[in-house]
Structure 1
Amino acid sequence: MIITCVSEERLIATAKLLPAAPQIMARLHKMLLDSNSGMTEIAALLKRDIALTSRIIRIANSPAYKGGGLGTIEEALQRVGFSEVFRLVGVVANASLTDSNLRCYGYGAETFRAHCLCTALVAEGVAKHTGMDSRLAYTAGLLGGIGCILLDRIGRDSLGPAEVFPEAGHGHLAEWERNTFGLSHHEVAGRLLREWEFPDAVVKAVSHDASLSEPTTPLGKNLHLTQCIVRLAGFGLSGENGEWGVPHEKLVAVGLTNDEATLIREEAVIAMSTFQG
């Protein structure tokens, strides 16, 4: 029996209460693909969210970027570059989305935030090593868990203590979600990212391929391998299905060696320390 049926309308209404940064990320992706987009246009987009611009400036002033003395988003763009600012928007989007515990899932805010960031950085690393679009991979890795955030916000008002995942899930996250809400967080993420006009490749990877034992797209295969690497890095989540280790067939599916996967994991963990300050 489904405890609380989640309609499309309820999902969209709840999503409207989320921070603006993820939607800005979608628009920024499109602008970066357009050769006519310049600093003025990109800065204007980022300035729509004061918290977003101030956090980007603060990160650009950090020792990681050899900085200090920046006071405007234009100066930050000049220092870090357009491609890097996309990553920074993602970091800020992740922080704004994961600012509270996911009570229905039993995930602490810091744990879930670190999981999403590690997933984004590993997916990006896999893409760079295999010739995929690293920006799409980063986006899919970062926002693949947004469905959990949305379902948690809905469930807080309707689930009792005995109905939350730690009590009723028995280790099977997808099964608990379907029994509780009538759909999985993968489906929710896909619907939301489609509503926000993220690229179809990202939507399909997080909503369809993520729930398959054998993904059908290159980005989906990337995410399957990424989750194995994330677990090995110590940032997996309870209730996730999948192997603890890096199966040979997942490496072959994307064209990586085990040594390359190890390097990607190490680089992602190092990069996390840059963004988590």
Structure 2
Amino acid sequence: MAAAAKRLPSSPRVFGALEAALRNPDVAIDSVVEVVRVDPSLAVRVIRVANSPVFRRGDAVESLDMAISRIGLREIHRLVGAAVADQLFAVGLPLYRISGDALWLNALVTALAAEQMATACGRDPREAYTLGLLRSAGRMLLQRIGQEAALPPTSGAKANGAETRAWELATFGMSADEAGAQLLELWDFAPTTVNGLRYAWSPTQDARRQLEPALLHLACWGCDALEQGLPIERDFWTTDEAVLKQAGLDKERVDATIFPTREAVNRTLDMLKPGERV
């Protein structure tokens, strides 16, 4: 598995380093610049967004530090995360018959739904966004392993979430969530983020009943509610009372996050992919 992981894009490590830097409430712009500068393609994208109609004020900016100052630290985390996901998921999941565009949009909507729900229950929205954004990383790893094992194309394209999970366990000996958790450990993400992904499929299986798996599970439900869910996960995400309780939320507050999530998604699309809407 480690060998296959090394052949995935390395940009998530940059995102992890950015999140770690932003945990410091007194973080300086210079520290963020140094993290983003590690990946030249991300740096170029940040400057391009800073000069887009969403942020354009006065003269064009040409330097990374000016671009980050203009965009702001909260928005730069969202933007870099979305750009990293765009790189990571670009090839899609042929094994599951999922296109790169569909996978990226699913990740973005899930991330922003998780951010809204974390805010609603008083938790860190930045960590929740990261968790939602990278939740399909495990399937990228399973696909890489499947390609190297010459599995039949589209053999993972199952009819619903239960069938998909059963196929993954039978084929790889692990689910996509477990593969993703192991991958996030390799990328040095926070233990709570790793655990959140590991138990997202069934949060109550987490012996410590931590909030993060339940929050991610509900965010995936929210993504479905916005019609951006993955066909291979159909009927998988719920708002069961036990999951709501574990997340510290109720159904009314979860429902109330759907509209602001849509607005946040469309704002991000305006920055990165003008003309697209959900």
Query: TM above 0.5, one fold?
Result: yes
- TM-score using structure 2 length: 0.86
**Paired position in structure 2 for 1:230:** 223
Distance 1:243 1:210, change over 3 A: closer
Question: Using the alignment, how far apart are the partners of 1:118 and 1:45 within structure 2?
Answer: 25
Q: Counterpart of 2:38 in 1: which secondary structure? A: coil
**Paired position in structure 2 for 1:90:** 81
- Which string of whole-angstrom CA distances, capped at 9 and with x for unpartnered residues, describes residues 119-156 of structure 1? 11110111112211001100100011100111112212
**Paired position in structure 2 for 1:273:** 269
The alignment's C-alpha RMSD in Å is 2.2
Map 1:105-254; keep pairs closer than 5 Å.
105-161=96-152, 164-166=155-157, 169-171=158-160, 172-207=163-198, 209-212=199-202, 214=204, 216-240=209-233, 242=235, 246=239, 250-251=243-244, 253-254=247-248
Question: Using the alignment, how far apart are the partners of 2:243 and 2:131 within structure 1?
Answer: 18
- TM-score using structure 1 length: 0.86
**Paired position in structure 2 for 1:24:** 14
**Paired position in structure 1 for 2:276:** none
Matched pairs, number: 264
Q: Offset of 1:117 from its aligned partner?
A: 0.7
One-letter amino acid of the structure 2 residue matched with residue 254 of structure 1: G
- Which string of whole-angstrom CA distances, capped at 9 and with x for unpartnered residues, describes residues 217-276 of structure 1? 112121111111100101101221546775566555432425513334433442342244
Gaps spanning 5+ residues in structure 1: where?
A: 1-10
Distance 1:244 1:179, change over 3 A: closer
Q: Offset of 1:103 from its aligned partner?
A: 1.1
Pick which of 29-38 and 76-85 moved more: 29-38
Question: Using the alignment, how far apart are the partners of 2:236 and 2:197 within structure 1?
Answer: 18
**Paired position in structure 2 for 1:48:** 38
Question: Using the alignment, how far apart are the partners of 1:245 and 1:195 within structure 2?
Answer: 30
Q: Does the Cα contact within 8 Å between 2:8 and 2:88 map onto a contact in 1?
A: yes
**Paired position in structure 2 for 1:255:** 249
Question: Using the alignment, how far apart are the partners of 1:17 and 1:160 within structure 2?
Answer: 18
Distance 1:162 1:32, change over 3 A: closer
One-letter amino acid of the structure 2 residue matched with residue 260 of structure 1: A
**Paired position in structure 2 for 1:64:** 54
One-letter amino acid of the structure 2 residue matched with residue 16 of structure 1: K
One-letter amino acid of the structure 2 residue matched with residue 39 of structure 1: I
Gaps spanning 5+ residues in structure 2: where?
A: 274-278
Q: Does the Cα contact within 8 Å between 2:217 and 2:238 map onto a contact in 1?
A: no
One-letter amino acid of the structure 2 residue matched with residue 85 of structure 1: I
